[in-house]
Amino acid sequence: MKTAIQIGTNKSGDNFFDICKEESFDLILLIEPAKRFNDIIHEIYKGFNHKIFNIAITSKDIKVAKLYNLHESGEMDSLSKRKTHPIRETTNDLEYTEVPCMTFNSFCEKHQIKNVELLQIDIEGLDDEVLLSIDMEKVSIKRIIWENWDHDDDDENGIYRTGSVIQKEVRSKLESKGFTVSDLSTRDFCAVKDI
């Protein structure tokens, strides 16, 4: 089964949807902890075989985490209480909700996923943490797209690592697993498994 997974779907108006339109996936799994986006996501993906999961994928084996609202319009959330986000210029008290969590490998095991054609991660600064936590011996991934978060130590709570050091670790891990890593833009990376 040709499967695509997006972690951090949000309202879904992004390049992942464009890729889904161009390629024929048998199943599209959309992981978005903020339930308020479900109707929009269903509407956008109505012509595709898709499922939405209202959970947060984390690098740590925890059951529940705080999901911070990082945008005045309510359109952006993160598990990281980020120091650098523009909303921090207007308030120090970020609103949050508690959301259920699991690791990517736990998610794949629970849903019997062994092969992933495309994995896209856009989780507001924690992409690298999640990528490092994936056991690629348990799930085969052909292509990965993820966001570059270049702010070092951006989590005010000190739970998650961000920035250049962890980016180097991710690149090294992926290359050691047979991926070719390239920059898609100043904000996004792509890794393709060498065949």
More confident residue, 118 or 59: 118
The residue count of the chain comes to 195
Q: What pLDDT is stored for residue 96 in this prediction? A: 79
For 7-36, write each residue's pLDDT tens digit.
Answer: 999 887 678 999 999 999 999 999 999 898
The set of residues, in sequence order, having a beta carbon less than 8 Å from that of 18 and lying 6+ positions away, is: none
Q: What pLDDT is stored for residue 157 in this prediction? A: 62
Query: What CATH number does the domain containing 9 carry?
Result: 3.40.50.150
Judge whether residue 187 has pLDDT over 90. Answer: no
Per the prediction, the chain carries an average pLDDT of 84
For 127-172, write each residue's pLDDT tens digit.
Answer: 888 999 999 999 999 999 998 766 666 556 665 665 666 788 899 9
Q: Domain count for the chain, please give it.
A: 1
**8 lies in which domain range?**
3-193
Sign of the CA dihedral 62, 171, 126, 137? negative
For 74-91, write each residue's pLDDT tens digit.
Answer: 566 766 665 555 554 444
Instruction: Report DSSP letters for 154-184, one per residue.
Output: -BTTS-S--SHHHHHHHHHHHHHTTEEEEES
More confident residue, 195 or 117: 117
Q: What is the mean pLDDT of residues 171-179?
A: 95
| Confidence at 55, pLDDT banded by 50, 70, 90 | very high
Q: What pLDDT is stored for residue 95 in this prediction? A: 75
Q: How many angstroms from the chain centroid is the CA of residue 69?
A: 16
What is the number of H-type helices and E-type strands within the chain? Answer: 5, 11
Q: What pLDDT is stored for residue 88 in this prediction? A: 47
Q: How many CB atoms lie within 10 A of CB 102?
A: 19
What percentage of the chain exceeds 90 in pLDDT?
A: 54
| Confidence at 5, pLDDT banded by 50, 70, 90 | very high
H or E element, residue 129: helix 127-133
First to last CA, the chain: 19
Q: How many CA atoms lie within 13 A of 95 on its CB side?
A: 7
